[in-house]
Amino acid sequence: MEGRRGAKSLISWSQPRQTLADAILLLKAARAKAVPSPPPVEEPPPVPAQAPAKRKAEEGEEKEEKKARLWQHEDPPPPKLAGENWESPREKLKLIGELTEEPWTYFLKDESRRSFAAHLANPLGKARSAAWFAKVRMGTKWLQPSTRWGPMPRKTAWMVAQPCSCSYYYGGMEVQPIAYPMWMLELMQEVMPKCGFSDLAEMPDSCNLNLYEDGTQMVGWHADDEDLFQGKSKDIRIISLSLGATRHFELELNWPAPEEVLGAKQQLADGDICTMEGMTQKHYMHRVPEEVPLHTVLAKKDDLTLSDGRRLSGGELLPPEKKEEEEEAEDLLELPDPPPMDARTWKKTFLWQVISIVFVLIVTQLGTWYHEEELRKILANSTAGRGNDSAEL
């Protein structure tokens, strides 16, 4: 089914950190800086007719750029439709940032290709986004289709507004549609006004949901250029809401010129909204990369001691090493814990202790009385003996 408003909503979440690819690139860049570069060779001023010669002279830089690029587009570039510009000027397309007073930030603004991407920090609040995270995760029937490469590295669902019954095809997979549940309509009524759409009839009529359960789950380089959305032939808007853990979102050009920046990156935190507008699906690829802890890269072979005494060794974070004096002191302080005791056992123990104390007091008192009685008898006998002796004298 053709998207009747040329838009769809993407809800994605999971858990932060620098990616493995980024860390490897940083290490390569540091290694390249450590190697002294040869002295520069002066070249004659380039002219348009000598552009191929210039590219040959800059072959080293081009190779370095290809190393940094993580993929290559297989299709040839399309023709430029407006002179040096890839697309005609933006006249009818209004950006979402122009439709609302919310503080949208455009981290990609390519007027030549009429391609734009924007970010809005969580406008819902932490409590609301946490509540929506729980409701969407529990209220969605998640699928994990298999491809020729194995199970898809995330879970997904495809929801549509009635009477649409279109399936979603991508990567050789077909995902059957689910009618919008009531909570989806409530979610759009809360989120879409932040994007300049207050009328339900103007809101997206389809939604692709992705669930990333941990940092290893991801989506690779792709474009939402299916015929369903017509993103290669006309301006469309794709609105993405992220819930849960922070992930990185990346875009890269399909056919960059030698002097152009490859793309853009944006960190998406809980409750953030992101858009891709215009002809972005025609000229850019995007992905949510795998999130790998940096210490698994930096400490793969070497040992690194942190400021708090902990060590990174073999990709593992180890506790600080203890001195012999500290170990001996800890051994002395390690006393066995008393066994657990319930209320009934405690009462019995307390009662027996009271009885024992009373018994000891009684025995002690009886012993005192016995000794006093024996002492009186001894004194009495002693007095009687002295009296008899006096009478005999």
The answer as to whether 15 is a domain residue is yes
Concatenated DSSP letters of 126-193: HHHHHHHHHHHHHHS--B--EETTEE-SSEEEEEE-TT----EEETTEEE--EEPPHHHHHHHHHHGG
Beta bridge partners of 169: 174
Q: Do 171 and 299 fall within a single domain?
A: no
Q: Do 118 and 184 fall within a single domain?
A: yes
- Residues 243, 11 contacting (CB under 8 angstroms): yes
Q: Do 194 and 315 fall within a single domain?
A: no
Domain that holds residue 308: 295-321
Q: Do 258 and 304 fall within a single domain?
A: no
For residue 184, give the CATH number of its domain: 2.60.120.590
The answer as to whether 45 is a domain residue is no
Beta bridge partners of 311: 305, 318
What pLDDT is stored for residue 182 in this prediction?
A: 95
Concatenated DSSP letters of 236-274: EEEEEEE-SS-EEEEEEESS--TTS--EEEEEE-TT-EE
Q: Do 175 and 302 fall within a single domain?
A: no
The answer as to whether 52 is a domain residue is no
Q: Do 146 and 200 fall within a single domain?
A: yes
Q: How far apart are the first and last CA of the chain?
A: 144
Q: Do 264 and 310 fall within a single domain?
A: no
The answer as to whether 356 is a domain residue is no
The answer as to whether 179 is a domain residue is yes
What's the whole-model pTM score? 0.60
State phi, psi for 160 to the nearest 5 degrees: -140, 155
Q: Domain count for the chain, please give it.
A: 2
Cα–Cα distance for residue pair 241/274, rounded to 1 Å: 7
Give Cα separations from 383 to 377, 379, 389 (angstroms).
10, 6, 10
Give Cα separations from 150 to 71, 120, 175, 226 (angstroms).
21, 35, 16, 22
Question: Omega of the bond prior to 76 within 30 degrees of 0, cis?
Answer: no
Q: Do 259 and 313 fall within a single domain?
A: no
The answer as to whether 388 is a domain residue is no
Q: Do 155 and 280 fall within a single domain?
A: yes
Q: Do 303 and 209 fall within a single domain?
A: no
Q: Do 137 and 229 fall within a single domain?
A: yes
Q: Among the three residues 271, 290, 309, which one is the final residue of a domain in this structure?
A: 290
Q: Among the three residues 321, 338, 366, which one is the final residue of a domain in this structure?
A: 321
Q: Among the three residues 290, 307, 340, which one is the final residue of a domain in this structure?
A: 290
The answer as to whether 85 is a domain residue is no
Which residue ranges of the chain lie beneath pLDDT 70?
A: 1-72, 292-317, 322-339, 341, 383-393
The answer as to whether 262 is a domain residue is yes
Q: Do 307 and 172 fall within a single domain?
A: no
Cα–Cα distance for residue pair 14/18, rounded to 1 Å: 15
What pLDDT is stored for residue 96 in this prediction?
A: 95
